[in-house]
Structure 1
C-alpha cells in the first residue's frame, strides 16, 4: 500500500501488483504476478476487476480471528469467476492463533477443502515459501495467444502528478511494446505507449509486456476517465 490514506486506515484502496521470479522445488523458475486487491466493502467493483485479471486467488485468513464477512464476499466472487482458490492461514505466530479451528471454519462457511491450508506468518516469514510452492502447484498458467493481436485489461488507474494517468494492466493476448499505438475501446481514443513496466514492488521500466504479464502503462492520458477501470 503506497497511498497515505491506505497507510492511515490500514486498508488497500487502489489495486497494486508485484512481479517476481521464483525458483520452485521442481527446479523450474516461474514468473509470479500478484495483485493486491482492495478488500474493503466499499471497493467491491475494484475487487471484481482485479479478479478478472487472475487465474487464482489466495484466501488469506487470520488464524486467530477467522473468516470475516468481507473476506467471504470476495471469496465467493472469486469462486463465481472460476478462479482456483488457495486457502492460507496467516499470523500463526500469534498466541491466539488456532489454525485447526479456522481451517474447519473455512470448510464450514466457505465450502472449500482447507485441511491442507498453508500455515504461515507474513511477519516472521514462516511458511511463505510454502505459499509460493502451492501457487506453482495449484494455480494454472495464464491463458491467451502470445502471437495474437494485442488485448489488455485495465485493472485500475490512478493519477500521478509527474506521469499523468498510470494504468495497471493485464496483457490478455499479444505483446505490448514501448511506442506501440493503443486504443481505449470505450472512448475510441488512440494513444502512444510512452512508458511501461512492472512493479517489483518498485516501479521498473521495461520495453515490453508479454501475454499473461501484469504491469503498468503510461500513454499521455491526462484525465483519469480516459482509462476506465475494466476497459480493454
Structure 2
C-alpha cells in the first residue's frame, strides 16, 4: 500500500501560477515545502501585478507618462479663434434738398446786410448764435459760396436740412473740418467752441437770406 502511494503520479495543477512555478524550477526534484513556498511567492507577485493593473496610476506617474509619450495618447488642446463679426454700417438718409441745381448766386451786399452783421459778435439774447471768425468780406464770401455750391450740387457736404418759413429751406453744410467761427448763445456750450459748419437759409426764390457759422448740435 505504501509503495502504491509513493509511485502514484501527481496530477498537474490547473492553476496557472503553479504551472509557472513548475516551469521556473531549475531542478526537477522538489519537495512539497518548496512547491508551497514558490506558489506563495508567485501568488503574491500575481496579486501585486493585478493590483497595479486595476489601481489608477498616481498623478506623478501620469505626468511622467505624458512627458515620455507626449505625441501618443496625450490630450490635444484645440484652440478656437473667434472671428469678430464686421460692424454693421449705419444706414444714413441723404437730407432733403428741393433746391438742387436752382440755387441763386450770392447777393452782392453779403456780408453787410441786416442779417449778416449780427453774426460778427456773440450774444446771449438768442439761444443759439454763430459768430464769424473773420470780419473781412472776402473770406466770408468764399466760405458761403462753397456752401451754396454744395447745396446746388447736392454733394456729401450737405449734412442736414429742414423746411423754413414761407416756402424757404434751411441747410447745414460741412466745411470739411475748416473752422469758420465759433458758437455763441445762451444754450451754446461754454468756452466758445469752434464752428466748422455753415447754416444757410434760402427763401422760396432760392436766394440767400442769411448764412452764419453753426454746428449739428445747434441745427
Larger proportion of strand? 1
TM tier, shorter chain? under 0.3
- Indicate the structure (1 or 2) with the bigger Cα radius of gyration: 2
Larger proportion of helix? 2
Q: TM-score, normalised by structure 1?
A: 0.19
